[in-house]
Each structure stands twice: as structure tokens, then as C-alpha cells.
Amino acid sequence: MASFFDKLRARAEAVDSLLCVGLDPHQSELEEDSAEGAFKFCAKLIEETKDVAAGYKPNAAFFEAYGTPGADALERVLKLIPKDIPIVLDAKRGDIGSTSEAYARAAFETLACDSVTVSPYLGGDACAPFLKDPTKGVWVLCKTSNPGSADLQTMEVVGGKPLYLHVADLCCNTWAKEHNNAGLVVGATDVEALRRVRAELPHVWFLSPGVGAQGADLSAGPPPGGPPRRPA
């Protein structure tokens, strides 16, 4: 069976695009402040981008805010996404093993998403439940796009390198070594971090948020992080 990253590469090559469309139904942008309003917002976005999207990234929080109707709206949104387009559930999960097992089951079985964003800061045992299915992908938070990312992620660790490089190495070369099914969240707002992580991990996929409202600018060309080189 093909891996998540096989599916992602096939889609990216088919549409000649690396665009991952965020499905973030912000309350202020909805015509109707309701779960139905969130659904309609996302449905319109999917319809307008389905010919160029390499992937879709629904943000779970905006649906959870509407309770049970929001959960239903998220499931309806997921069903609108064409089957050949990979889905990234943006939920930033991470907890002790048994809880991560439940989170993984929710993302991959209940919602049938192809991949999920995960926090690495509880360690390898917390990420392991997400990584055990070789057909599913995990996007580990590495150097995020928000200004506060520098509070922790750029701190120097043993050896003098920033924490985000340690996370990248540990995740991709140790935790995900069995199936090679981890990618990294490296924000497009930090070009230097993109360069440094890509230099160390040339074959790993990046999810690089931050273009638009968060200030990343593609006018000078794509960020230096990707796409990854094919393994030899």
C-alpha cells in the first residue's frame, strides 16, 4: 500500500503545485456565525481551489468551537475533498500514550484523514501511536510560524544547535525511522530555519504555514524548504 507521502507527491506532480489550502473558518469571516456557516465557507473554498490544491488542511479548532454541530460540519467538509487530494488534520495533538492512541484513532479511523499535525514535546512515546500506520502521515511541529516560536524553539541545546533542529533530527531519524512517515512543520515566516532544516534533512517533506496573514511573502519565489529531494 502507498504511503501518505507517495500520495502527496503524486498529487503535487499531477497538478504541478505545492499549495496546501488551509480550511480555517474564522468566526469573523463567516456569513453566518454557526457550524453551517463554517461548512459553507469551507465548501466554497474547496470548490474554488480543488484544481490546484496539493492538499487540504482543515483546522479542527474552528469546528470544535461549535460543539456537536461543528463536529458534524467537519465530517461533511472532509467528504467534499476529492479522494486523490491528501488531507492534513490540523489538530496539533500530543499526550501520554493511551491518550495519543485515542487521538490517532480519531484522526485516522473516525475522520479518515491521511495525516495529522502533532506536538513533539511529550517525547517519542507520545508520537508513536500516530506513526505506527505506514500509510498515514504525521507532521511534527518543528519551527512554527508564530512570533512566540522563538521563546522555546530557537533555544540552544547540547552541541550548540537550536532546539528545532534537535526535534527535526530526533523525529525523522529516530521516532519515524521504521516507516519514514513523518514530515515537519517549518513556518514560511522563518527562511533561515527552512534553509537549516532542509540542509540537514533533504528528503523530508515540510508543511510551511504562514503565507498571507502571518506575513510570509512568496513574491521573491518559493521558500527554500522544499519540495524534498527523492531518496537515491
Residues tagged active-site: 92
Rounded to whole angstroms, the Cα distance separating 84 from 202 reads 25
Positive or negative torsion for Cα 67, 69, 75, 78: negative
> Is 130 in a helix, a strand, or coil?
helix
Task: State the sign of the Cα–Cα–Cα–Cα dihedral 26, 67, 128, 166.
Answer: positive
Q: Each residue of 10-47: b (16+ CB within 10 Å) or e?
A: ebbeebebbebbbbbbeeeebeeeebbbbbbbbeebbe
- The set of cell numbers assigned to 153 is 524553539
Residue 69 contacts residue 77 (beta carbons within 8 Å): no
Structure letter (DSSP) for residue 172? I
| Helices 191-200, 163-170: inter-axial angle, 10-degree rounding | 40
Asked if residues 121 and 148 have their Cβ atoms less than 8 Å apart, the reply is no
CB-facing half-sphere around the CA of 180: CA atoms within 13 A:
10
